[in-house]
């Protein structure tokens, strides 16, 4: 069975990051890293991690097309699985990412898991989702701690893969998120703050298997 957990490892120590990835690599779908990791460890940490697991670069890129293209060209040389980008700046910017991506997949942000997203971003989720479907991105970000919103998005995803943050520390349940339409659940602090991260992820996988049978 394909693993459904994406480990969001926002660690700033390269050795700790690599060691944790090695420990949990067989229990996860991918590792997700954000700006704190890349700024602390350097962009080549993407290549280092890619030796052990798929790497999703959570850069939430949100710039003009030319800048987006330049960012993708730099990142893709390090061999990530996917890059996360914002969508509100327009589909010309998303298309620029995709044109430069080669084998790297693009995941567009439709909505986010923090409370503040309810003011500007989340009310536009339907329009953003429709735009992203038109340009055929690989996947989308939708909250795993707002099951009603997640369910609305899942009904209209048309084959796009849903990656859901907000699990664990932000209140979402991995099983509930998957039941309500997520394809993968993104879990961070609950993994890397655990004294036994392998067992923690393994327990989640066992819970997920129960709803899949």
Residues involved in catalysis: 60
State the Cα–Cα distance between residues 3 and 53, nearest whole angstrom.
Answer: 12
Q: Tell me the β-bridge partners of 105.
A: 82
What b/e sequence results for 151-163 when a residue is b if at least 16 CB atoms lie within 10 Å of its CB, and e otherwise? ebbbeebeebebb
State the Cα–Cα distance between residues 96 and 189, nearest whole angstrom.
Answer: 33
Burial class (CB in 10 A: 0-12, 13-18, 19+), 198: middle
């Amino acid at each position: 069975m394909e693993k459904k957990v994406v480990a969001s490892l926002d660690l700033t120590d390269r050795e700790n990051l690599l060691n944790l990835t090695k420990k949990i690599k067989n229990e996860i779908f991918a590792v997700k890293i954000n700006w704190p990791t890349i700024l602390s460890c350097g962009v080549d940490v993407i290549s280092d991690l890619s030796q052990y697991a798929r790497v999703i670069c959570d850069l939430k890129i949100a710039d003009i097309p030319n800048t987006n293209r330049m960012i993708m060209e730099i990142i893709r040389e390090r061999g990530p699985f996917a890059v996360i980008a914002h969508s509100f700046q327009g589909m010309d910017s998303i298309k620029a990412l995709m044109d430069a991506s080669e084998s790297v997949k693009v995941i567009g942000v439709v909505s986010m898991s923090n409370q503040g997203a309810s003011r500007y971003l989340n009310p536009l989720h339907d329009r953003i989702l429709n735009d992203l479907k038109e340009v055929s991105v690989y996947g989308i970000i939708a909250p795993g701690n707002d099951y009603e919103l997640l369910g609305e998005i899942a009904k209209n995803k048309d084959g796009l893969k849903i990656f859901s943050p907000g699990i664990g520390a932000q209140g979402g349940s991995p099983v509930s998120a998957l039941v309500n339409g997520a394809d993968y659940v993104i879990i961070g602090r609950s993994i890397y703050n655990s004294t036994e991260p392998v067992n923690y992820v393994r327990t989640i996988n066992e819970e997920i298997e129960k709803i899949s049978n």
